[in-house]
């Protein structure tokens, strides 16, 4: 059978689409602005599938003759969710496309690399819960926002993400580059702490409900249940802004995560101390803040040797201090609010002989919170602010779960763990659970025996029945005690932890595919930081600071009119009104500030101009 040449395939494909009109490559101010109804009808009648109105470019891409499609914006009215383009300047500032070309590549095709990254970030901002849910988005309208004809199908999008995540560790490398830039930007914005970072570390359990492979059971505090899942440890700044995340496939605790993953990353990525400050013996490289799970005098000594500061709660604070030691002091929170706190300070020697500072905050007659630190120069008022501010990280995780789908699976698959991995022995866990059950039965029998009494002035029959019932209970207690002792001996003989290779194949733990998860998490971090930056701009124009993110969520899904002018090299994004004078006034100020950034749409020379309908 003769195989047609590539040129013959191209000629045949072009012949099929010669009669189909294509989109003009250059739109002018006088060009006709299509309505939503007109675009919907045109998309449904596209010859190559819904919304595929750029047939020639798609044919060229399918024949390998097009590296990527050129972005072509057209005049369009009432584009749904067009307000999400307001986040574009912030996304680019946070580094969404800064390292894409140096780290990632895609084979020649229709969709440009930058469009895939931009599309994923914008999907996160409009609260699309998962990639599968994009099938319910209007593909042609999203294409108008991105300068294409339509958004990629779910299968195509998954294939692109699979190609981007083929090399393990690339997402971590991208995350590290961004974290370095974010940390340096934060240090330069705070001259008083130049070179000394402040990092909050907390764990988050991603619950797994699938059946592809056994995962270890972990305690989920928010649900108060023991569920299968994976532990992620997030590193955030003082205001809750994320820097990076590491994953523990087999939960070994916060201290192990800090030792093996977090601190090495911080030593490599955090801003380095100035040489003059490094000569100071009491100067610290950076400070990490964590909860009571990380309490360990031995670990504290290791941090002090590495000149790393720490703040944490005392796990065993002991008795309350006398009320006479506390003094009322004015404390400025990280939000700028000034409050009064009752504070006291002592030096405390831990069990290993290490001396640390202990600051206590008295909130009532019986409630005192104890904070430990090895930073000898840190003012106690700052300690009283920084330690409770770790709730900003808890709020971040909650917000990400509710609005950015933090716990969503990205890739349906698992990977084997190294055979030398030490895990909890399932046999030991089963015996331990059985001991707890049998101990409960023994306690119930003993309680029943203790409550078994003889009525006053008992008859001979009652005496006989009392003795028989008591004897039966004693026999049950003896048998239950013997069973419990046997189980304890069995537990003692069963190792608590074993190498993974010693477990039966059906019980060997596996891990969820980490690369695609880290890749999407990095994009979600950029989206969150971009939203936070916009919230900071809006906060100045709203009476209530708590309304900023709610207003942004509404702005992102607001329709907009797109009016490109290739002669003037501008792309006008005309937002619809929100229906509230106060909100419209705040958005108008935001539009002015976004336009002043003179941001150009990626891979084009079109400068973005933002305004509202009816504005001059």
pLDDT of residue 225: 87
pLDDT of residue 189: 64
Q: How many CB atoms lie within 10 A of CB 218?
A: 21
Which pTM does this prediction carry? 0.88
Q: What are the tokens at 122?
A: 């914008």
The answer to whether residues 396 and 409 touch, using CB atoms and an 8 Å cutoff, is no
Report d(CA 389, CA 394) in Å as an integer.
9
Report d(CA 492, CA 487) in Å as an integer.
9
DSSP conformational letter for 293: G
Tokens 């989109």, located at residue: 23
CA atoms within 13 A on the CB side of 440: 5
Q: Which residues of the chain have pLDDT under 70?
A: 1-31, 188-196, 616
CA 276 to chain centre: 37
pLDDT tens profile 493-550: 999 999 989 888 888 888 888 999 999 999 999 999 999 999 999 988 887 878 899 9
Which superfamily does CATH assign the domain made up of 170-403 to?
A: Transposase Inhibitor Protein From Tn5; Chain A, domain 1 (3.90.350.10)
Q: Which ranges of 294-421 does DSSP label H, i.e. alpha helix?
A: 297-305, 380-386, 391-403
pLDDT of residue 192: 54
pLDDT of residue 509: 86
The strand ranges marked E within 314-410 are 327-332, 338-349, 355-362, 368-373
Q: Which ranges of 494-547 does DSSP label H, i.e. alpha helix?
A: 514-539
Tokens 């890739």, located at residue: 411
pLDDT of residue 616: 59
Query: Using a CB cutoff of 8 Å and minimum separation of 24, what contacts does 211-220 make?
Result: 212/412, 212/413, 212/414, 212/510, 213/414, 213/509, 213/510, 214/506, 214/507, 214/508, 214/509, 214/510, 215/509, 215/510, 215/511, 215/512, 216/250, 216/251, 216/423, 216/424, 216/509, 218/251
pLDDT of residue 19: 41
Would strands 225-236 and 217-220 be described as parallel, antiparallel, or unpaired? antiparallel
Q: What are the tokens at 162?
A: 């699979």
Q: Which H or E run contains 227?
A: strand 225-236
Report d(CA 609, CA 599) in Å as an integer.
8
pLDDT of residue 463: 87
pLDDT of residue 178: 96
Q: How many CB atoms lie within 10 A of CB 455?
A: 9
pLDDT tens profile 167-198: 999 999 999 999 999 998 877 666 555 435 89
pLDDT of residue 519: 95
């Amino acid at each position: 059978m003769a195989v047609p040449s590539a040129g013959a395939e191209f000629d045949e494909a072009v012949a099929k689409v010669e009669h189909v009109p294509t989109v003009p490559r250059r739109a002018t101010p006088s060009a006709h602005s299509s309505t939503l109804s007109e675009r919907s009808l045109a998309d449904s009648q596209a010859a190559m599938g819904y919304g595929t109105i750029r047939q020639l470019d798609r044919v060229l891409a399918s024949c390998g003759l097009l590296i990527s499609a050129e972005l072509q914006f057209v005049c369009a009215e009432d584009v749904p969710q067009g307000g999400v383009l307001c986040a574009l300047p912030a996304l680019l500032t946070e580094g969404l496309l800064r390292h894409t070309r140096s780290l990632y590549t895609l084979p020649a095709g229709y969709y440009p690399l930058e469009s895939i990254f931009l599309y994923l970030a914008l999907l996160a901002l409009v609260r699309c819960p998962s990639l599968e849910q994009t099938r319910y988005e209007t593909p042609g309208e999203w294409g108008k926002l991105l300068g294409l004809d339509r958004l990629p199908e779910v299968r195509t999008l998954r294939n692109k993400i699979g190609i981007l995540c083929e090399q393990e560790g690339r997402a971590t490398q991208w995350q590290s580059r961004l974290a370095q830039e974010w940390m340096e930007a934060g240090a330069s914005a705070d001259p008083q702490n130049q070179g000394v970072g402040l990092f909050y570390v907390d764990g988050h359990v991603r619950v797994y409900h699938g059946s592809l492979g056994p995962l270890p059971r972990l305690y989920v505090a928010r649900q108060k249940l023991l569920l299968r899942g994976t532990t992620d440890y997030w590193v955030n700044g003082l205001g809750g802004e994320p820097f990076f995340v590491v994953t523990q496939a087999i939960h070994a605790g916060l201290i192990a995560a800090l030792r093996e993953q977090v601190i090495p990353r911080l030593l490599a990525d955090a801003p380095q101390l100035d040489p003059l400050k490094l000569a100071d013996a009491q100067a610290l490289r950076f400070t990490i803040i964590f909860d009571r799970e990380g309490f360990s005098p031995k670990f504290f000594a290791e941090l002090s040797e590495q000149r790393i500061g720490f703040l944490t709660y005392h796990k065993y604070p002991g008795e309350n201090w006398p009320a006479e030691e506390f003094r009322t002091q004015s404390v400025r929170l990280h939000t700028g609010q000034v409050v009064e706190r009752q504070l006291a300070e002592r030096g405390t020697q831990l069990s290993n002989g290490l001396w640390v500072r202990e600051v206590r905050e008295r909130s009532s007659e019986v409630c005192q919170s104890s904070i430990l630190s090895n930073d000898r120069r840190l003012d106690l008022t700052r300690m009283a602010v920084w330690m409770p501010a770790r709730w900003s990280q808890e709020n971040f995780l909650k917000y990400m779960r509710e609005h950015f789908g933090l716990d969503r699976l990205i890739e349906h698959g698992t990977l084997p763990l190294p055979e030398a991995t030490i895990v909890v022995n399932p046999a030991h866990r089963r015996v331990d659970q059985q001991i707890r059950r049998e101990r409960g039965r023994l306690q119930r029998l003993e309680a029943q025996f203790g409550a078994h009494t003889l009525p006053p002035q008992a008859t001979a029959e009652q005496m006989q029945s009392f003795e028989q019932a008591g004897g039966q209970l004693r026999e049950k207690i003896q048998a239950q005690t013997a069973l419990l002792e046997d189980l304890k001996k069995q537990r003692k003989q069963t190792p608590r932890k074993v190498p993974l290779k010693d477990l039966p194949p059906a019980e060997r733990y596996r891990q969820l595919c980490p690369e695609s998860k880290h890749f999407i998490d990095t994009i979600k971090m950029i989206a969150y930081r971009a939203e936070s930056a916009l919230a900071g701009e809006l906060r100045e124009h709203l009476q209530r600071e708590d309304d900023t993110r709610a207003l942004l969520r509404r702005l992102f899904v607001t329709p907009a009119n797109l009016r490109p002018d290739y002669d003037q090299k501008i792309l006008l994004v005309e937002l619809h009104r929100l229906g509230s004078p106060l909100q419209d006034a705040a958005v108008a100020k935001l539009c002015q500030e976004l336009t002043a950034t003179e941001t150009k749409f990626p891979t084009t020379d079109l400068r973005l101009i933002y305004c509202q309908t009816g504005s001059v």
